[in-house]
Amino acid sequence: MKYTICNEIEHALFFILDTVRSCGIGYNGTELYWIKDYNGELIDEKKIEEQRKIWRQLFLEGNPPEQCKNCHLLLNKDWKQDGKFNLIVVAHRTKCSCNCIYCNFKYKKEYWNTRETYNIMPVLEDLERRNLLTDDLHISVSGGECTEYPNNEFEDIAAFVIKKQCKMSVYSSGINFSPTLAKCLNQGLCDLVISADSGSKEVYEKIKRVKKFDNVWNNIKKYSEAAVSDGGIYGRMTVKYVIVDGLNNTQKAFYDFIKKCREAKIKHIRIAVEYNWWTAHKNEPMPPRLIKLVKYIQKFNKEFSIEPTEFGIALFKIADSQ
């Protein structure tokens, strides 16, 4: 049946902290919950379908939930109403050895690092056993630092991806090296993004607030050696540079980063702008220093695949217009 809705409502499960949601945009405040007060229980697809029918009817009537209006994820197409899931987002953990200056979890760090939660593997295995996962399944792992998940949980997730030959996106600090993740990269099953944010130890330690600079770049190099991407997403090792005003927003800081990327034979770079700074200044004229930095970054487009993302997209558009 053809109608306008999003893949997230029709086919996704977002395991966000102690909830299961159907939406990954604006994790805080979203009303589209499959389950509240969740603690790792097996998924009841019948209850989810009951809720899905309610939301689907709202879309069919032209009166979607408020947060869905004008969303860029909406698609008008012939949707397969099979109740299966093609997207699983794993963000149920918060422990991370980094203490990034821009991270929301920097507040009450001890609480977030000691917070107890559930193991996702019994849920994934149950969904697979009941044939509720599509052949084109994508798993995104982004909560906390995945390589620090207890009881081998992340290695088990990566092994599940290899066994099922599905696809996975991973966002990591790079502090720890995962052999199974490297294997996923080498088989072209994984898209790995590591936020290094700096090419110098001094700036790295100011932003990440841990003394792991050499360790991270050594691991980036090892992951890069395992990567096999020929231009596609999967099998790709990407290093992220979050622009933090006052810390790494200079040409010298970015060139130090470029040098480390060259040493590690990185070809894919992702540029973002620190969330809180952007939120506070987005309605003001962009400072000339940031426009100058973006124009400098673009000089490396021939050598690297440079992708602006999040608020970096807006900043690049502003720079291009000036």
Instruction: Give me the pLDDT at residue 269, please.
Output: 97
Instruction: Give me the pLDDT at residue 134, please.
Output: 96
- Write the pLDDT tens digit of every residue in 117-163: 999 999 999 999 999 999 999 999 988 899 999 999 999 999 999 99
Q: Please check whether residue 99 is in contact with residue 112, taking contact to mean a CB–CB distance below 8 angstroms.
A: no
Strand partners, 14: 21, 89
List the structure tokens of 46.
């019948």
Instruction: Give me the pLDDT at residue 143, please.
Output: 82
User: Which residue stretches of the chain have pLDDT < 70?
Assistant: 26-30
Query: Who contacts 243 (Cβ-Cβ below 8 Å, separation ≥6)?
Result: 249, 271, 272, 273, 274, 290, 293, 312, 315
Instruction: Give me the pLDDT at residue 67, please.
Output: 83
Beta strands 19-21 and 12-16, pairing class: antiparallel
Instruction: Give me the pLDDT at residue 29, please.
Output: 52
- Write the pLDDT tens digit of every residue in 211-239: 999 999 999 999 999 999 777 899 999 99
Instruction: Give me the pLDDT at residue 30, please.
Output: 59
Structural element, H or E, at residue 197: none
Please state, rounded to an integer, the average pLDDT across all residues of the chain: 93
